[in-house]
Chains A and B, each alone.
Chain A
Amino acid sequence: MPAAEISSEDKGDNRMNLKRFYGMTLATALSVSMLAGCSGNNNTKDAAATAAPASGNAATASSEPSQEPVTLKWALWDWEATAYYKPLIDAYKAAHPNVTIEYVDLGSTDYMTMLSTQLSGGADLDVLTIKDIPGYSNLVKQNHLEPLKTYMGDKSIDPSVYGGTVEQIEVNGEVYALPFRSDFWLIYYNKALFDKAGVDYPTNDMTFDQYDELARKMTSGSGSEKVYGAHYHTWRSAVQLFGILDGKNTVVGGNYDFLKPTYERILKEQEDGIVMDYATLKTSSTHYSGVFYNNSVAMMNMGSWFIATQIEKVKSGESQSAEWGIVKYPHPDGVEAGTTLGTITSLAVNQKSKHKEAALDFMNFVTGAEGAKVIASTGTIPAIKNDEVINSITSIDGFPADENSKAALNTVQTYLEMPIHEKSADIEVILNEAHDNIMTKNATIDEGLKDMNDRVGQLLNN
């Protein structure tokens, strides 16, 4: 049981008062449990004591982390639900027995807000997981993150292995985080439904129009027998970002008129009953996985994170769409197949960390080739995506056997869902709201786009 322990060294006096307080008012259950929680770490301390202290010149000292016992605190979310945290920690500890890594789970809802609050309050976190770009850009603005360019130079970390994502998160020529997980969008489809309808499976090269046509072909039935041709989850990225795949526009540009065809196509599908109604989905908290499991949708655009979940749920029997496959994301006319949207999860180091060197080393491990191997073994797509990693994922038991599904994992161009921008947090708020208004038909497409233009424009001029 790894537990996020409170380190007591930096607050000795208060700790005394606390103990007295608890002693007076309560049973000592709390302190007992604290002792129990610590016992797991004793071995590492002994091991470190026998290891030789680091010596030699300054150059080796900086590249060779010291052997002193160190405890790193790693801020993350969904500890229980995420498969790769523990294997990563174990793998790192096997090579660095002097390092203890404790996690601090800040929960997935509003994770970046929680993290920013913790850091503003001076929390002693060392390694920070970065969940999204707006939150990242806020932390950079707040000077919470350690700049990495020099370290990357020292360690000769080549940013090109990350497939161009590192360049996309540069702020004023400096990098503050390295990606370890890189998800991209795919089409999941239900083979059994296609077989039943006698329609050919989707392919790895579909334009938006072909996708729309296929979705219409696959829609059938009514009531509880209804099958929807496609499914768009209630996230803005699931609908709006089709519009940026031609590479001509970004969502931080200030003008959103280019989104009109996308919204027209999706709303038409919604009106024609090809996809479920956004408002219904949102208010009933319908989760995309549920409708896919229940054989209610033939195709669904979703991130690659769903691969591992779908495999697992087919095994457990919860997912009834046991016959399934994936293909590449649909693309606009004249754009190469394999162009898709992506989202990265990265690691950063707290600028005020007391164990910066050890924290950087851990970050380097997780975001590097070794970490990628560990992450891929859990069915998740790491940021370093080479053939070995792809093979490791496609060979997982339960991964669709057809060649198309394997080939679908190769991407040619990935646009980040939210590009880095000084005001990306504010822009995202505006876009989400306007998107919601359009999709719930509380605003027409033109009104919604005008709202985006006006408010983002105002923000950018400020």
Chain B
Amino acid sequence: MVGKSKGLKISLMVLVYALLILTVLAMLVPYIWMLSSSLKLNKDVFSFPMQWIPANPRWENFQDIWTRIPLGRFIYNTAKLSVIVTILQLLTSSFAAYAFSKLHFRGKNAIFLGYIATIAIPWQAYMVPQFILMRYMGLNNTHLAIILLQAFSAFGVFMMRQFYQGVPDELCEAARIDGLSEYGIWARIMLPLSKPALSTLTIFTFVATWNDFLGPMIYLTDTKLKTIQIGLRMFISQYSAEYGLIMAASVVSIIPVVIVFLALQKYFVQGVAASGIKG
């Protein structure tokens, strides 16, 4: 039944590809500019007409970013925070989401609604009370403050719950009849089935922690504890901004996140129901 319009299909494919390639190019333009700026002197970054390939590429920019600020230390700090936060977030979120999705208990809807509603409150509104609390607990200027701040978000619970909703209830019931405890079901059925969701949450949490600026800015005033986003801002000083270095540091800082993304994206194709349990 496909045969009748093979020609049409091919031309459609060509069209789709052409469109895609065009979009991809449009998406890449800012990065090409970023890369090219990272090889320029600050004063040339915003000069017109723009030079896509710098006449005298300044490879020194990529050296300077390591010596001008302790970028290596910042990357280490950021990576450490991102990894710990991501692991905690994955564990606690998927655990709680299981209850919200597959168990029945008193106050479930109320708690859940309250949970998501809190996502709606901008952090700026309770930043100061939170800061006072953290200081009171002696957590100011510790990485632990950032970890505790980021690891237990309602967002992760919400997201995992939505994906668990897609897993048929019958599966859990069957497992219960087989004598699996709820913990067993979570560990042996839900976790393996939710690999795409877990990878998504991993990427999101990792990126969010990696790119967080205001949190580290307030909690980490000690240079040794600072993170990469604060480092980037260090090239913006009161009377000047060194965009060449900012772009170079941005290029460097994007690499680890892209690696995480590439490593995890293979799970987007190993589907939940691919094993054909449903129905």
CB distance from B234 to the nearest CB of A (A): 6
- A 285-323 contacts with B by CB, 8 A: 285-287, 289-290, 293-294, 303, 305-306, 309, 318-319
Contact B135 A121 (CB under 8 A): yes
- B84 interface residue per 8 A CB criterion: yes
Given the known interface contacts A121-B132, A121-B140, the answer about A287 and B217 at a Cβ–Cβ threshold of 8 Å is: no
Give Cα A30 to B134, complex, Å: 20
Give Cα A356 to B60, complex, Å: 45
Stretch at the interface among B45-53, B115-123, B200-208: B45-53
Given the known interface contacts A25-B84, A106-B221, A121-B135, the answer about A286 and B68 at a Cβ–Cβ threshold of 8 Å is: no
Give Cα A126 to B237, complex, Å: 23
Contact B233 A11 (CB under 8 A): no
Instruction: Point out the residue from A120, A122, A286, A287 that lies within 8 Å of B240, measured CB to CB.
Output: A287
CB distance from A29 to the nearest CB of B (A): 8
- B69 interface residue per 8 A CB criterion: yes
Kindly list chain B residues whose C-beta atoms are within 8 Å of the C-beta of A14: 137-139
In this complex, how many residues of chain B approach chain A with their Cβ under 8 Å: the count is: 45
CB distance from B252 to the nearest CB of A (A): 18
| Proximity string of chain B (40-67) to chain A, C-beta cutoff 8 Å, 1 when within and 0 when not | 0111111111000000000000000000
Kindly list chain A residues whose C-beta atoms are within 8 Å of the C-beta of B69: 80
Instruction: Point out the residue from A121, A131, A287 that lies within 8 Å of B131, measured CB to CB.
Output: A121
Contact A108 B236 (CB under 8 A): yes
Q: How many A-B residue pairs have CB under 8 A?
A: 114
Contact A105 B132 (CB under 8 A): no
Given the known interface contacts A18-B142, A121-B132, A309-B239, the answer about A4 and B47 at a Cβ–Cβ threshold of 8 Å is: no
- B223 interface residue per 8 A CB criterion: yes
| Proximity string of chain A (9-31) to chain B, C-beta cutoff 8 Å, 1 when within and 0 when not | 00101110010011001100110
Contact A80 B68 (CB under 8 A): yes
Contact B46 A287 (CB under 8 A): yes
Contact A120 B128 (CB under 8 A): yes
CB distance from B135 to the nearest CB of A (A): 4
- B149 interface residue per 8 A CB criterion: no
Contact B240 A21 (CB under 8 A): no
CB distance from B90 to the nearest CB of A (A): 15
Contact A289 B43 (CB under 8 A): yes
Contact A289 B48 (CB under 8 A): no
Give Cα A37 to B136, complex, Å: 25
CB distance from A430 to the nearest CB of B (A): 20
Instruction: Point out the residue from A18, A108, A118 that lies within 8 Å of B221, measured CB to CB.
Output: A118
Contact A309 B240 (CB under 8 A): yes
Contact B233 A109 (CB under 8 A): yes
Which A-B residue pairs are the 8 nearest by beta carbons?
Answer: A14-B138, A11-B138, A290-B43, A81-B237, A108-B238, A78-B237, A121-B131, A121-B135
14 contacts between A and B (CB under 8 A): A4-B223, A13-B138, A26-B80, A104-B222, A107-B217, A117-B128, A117-B218, A224-B49, A287-B46, A290-B42, A303-B239, A305-B238, A305-B239, A318-B42
Task: Give me the interface of A with B, judged by CB distance under 8 Å.
Answer: 3-6, 11, 13-15, 18, 21-22, 25-26, 29-30, 33-34, 37, 77-82, 104-109, 114, 117-118, 120-123, 131, 224, 284-287, 289-290, 293-294, 303, 305-306, 309, 318-319
Known: A14-B139, A21-B144, A106-B221. 7 other contacts (CB 8 A): A3-B222, A4-B221, A33-B224, A108-B236, A108-B237, A287-B46, A289-B43
